[in-house]
Amino acid sequence: MDPHSAPLDDLVVLDLTRALAGPHAAMMLGDMGARVIKVESPAGDDTRGWGPPFIGEGDERESTYFLAANRNKESVVLDLKTEEDREVLAGLVRRSDVLMENFRVGVLERLGFGLDRLHELNPRLILLSITGFGHDGPEATRAGYDQIAQGEGGLMSITGSDPDQPTKVGVPIADLLAGMNGAYGVLAALHERSRTGRGRVVRTSLLASVVGVHAFQGTRWTVAKEVPGMSGPHHPSIAPYGLFHTATSPVQIACGSETLWRSFAAAAGIDVDDPRFATNGDRVGHREELTAVIEEVFAQQPAEHWLELFAGAGIPSGKVRSIDDVYSWEQTRSQGLLLDVEHATQGSLQLPGSPIRFDDQPYSGGRATHQAPPTLGQHDAEIRAWASEPLS
């Protein structure tokens, strides 16, 4: 196998999206080798202005938010209110395998690129459409913003410790999940196209992506008719499984089986025969008492003592790392999760990498080298020229 080839290096992705959900989907395919052409308005992607933090000064200022979602892309500026640039877009559609958009419902049609026109231009085109609440239904026209979707999709109602303060996840998880689902759907549609020769529409939304990860919290309601609430830093159905304070910093433990519980209790010096803690159900029912017992024991030693003890006993445990600690951690680096790129105006940058690795490659993503996120319109000339070339 060519060590420099990538799984998707024969694909062209036309990225009309902005903000995070769509750009993340396109970046995932770019990481796997696809050529991703990011179409931006003259003002640029909204996230170019989201900050601080920024790096650089004046016209060369770049948002770190934009840098997080746009590696391995080329940028062309098109004003789709003009006939000339709509023709450029039409030329790009003819040459692309995938088009991604996250406009409000109906916007693409008003620009003259409804589904019929797109498939007239390119019958093999896969269209990914990401919306806030779905493309149909009574709330289809609502704008999609991550925190709104986290709240409307129930995620904030089960996150945090204080029912009066519903808490969002620390990253835009609805956006990121929608992007991941979109990329996943596109790959399925591309596989189908290899048999049928025709494209199709893939749809997902922020709402669908949040509801789609309810997992056991969803079936607590749909099957057991129990409304989940907040459980803070502890698992609602397993105990002990969560965060506990020590003499120094907190540690986390996960006793996901009776065997692990008994090993943990023996290592920590907790009475394993206490009838309050006899089964997992008992321990969940007496969680506050169990937490008090564990933290009374843990208060006698620093976190490092307990982590070393549990590692030796085979009990899943860990610390709570800060973001800077994560990126300096040798395990993170060993997984190829940091990429070195050369930015057009900022020089050498280090970016978070793809979470996927292939068996013959030591780096993350499918490509041996990665491109820095583009400056606005960085690739205008070459992309416009390519769009106007006769089709072979």
Place of tokens 């048999």: 195
The per-residue pLDDT for range 320-354, each reduced to its tens digit, is: 999 999 999 999 999 989 999 999 999 999 999 99
Q: Average pLDDT, stretch 239-255?
A: 97
Q: What is the pTM of this model?
A: 0.94
- Identify the H or E element spanning 254: strand 251-254
Q: Which residue from 299, 296, 291 is spatially nearest to 161, judged by alpha carbons?
A: 291
Summarize pLDDT for 177-208 with one digit per residue, the tens: 999 999 999 999 999 999 999 999 999 999 99
- The reported pLDDT for the residue numbered 2 is 57
Between CA 153 and CA 8 the distance in angstroms is: 33
Asked if 135 contacts 108 with a C-beta cutoff of 8 angstroms, the reply is: no
Q: What integer pLDDT is reported at residue 5 of this predicted model?
A: 82
pLDDT > 70? residue 1: no
pLDDT of residue 296: 97
Per-residue pLDDT band for 100 (boundaries 50, 70, 90) equals: very high
Give the integer Cα–Cα distance in Å for 339 and 79.
32
CATH of the domain spanning 251-319, picked from 3.30.1540.10, 1.20.140.10, 1.20.1330.10, 3.30.499.10: 3.30.1540.10
- Could you please report the per-residue DSSP string of 61-86? -EEHHHHHS-SS-EEEE--TTSHHHH
The CATH T-level fold of domain 12-213+332-388 is Rossmann fold (3.40.50)
Go through 299-334 and write b for each residue having 16 or more CB atoms within 10 A of its CB, e for each that does not. Answer: eeeebeebbeebeeeebebeeeeeeeeeeeeeebee
Domain residue extents for the chain:
12-213+332-388, 251-319
Structure-token pair, residue 264 = 């943990």
Q: What is the pLDDT of residue 361?
A: 73
* Positions marked catalytic: 175
> Could you say which DSSP state residue 221 is in?
H
Which pLDDT score is estimated for 3?
55
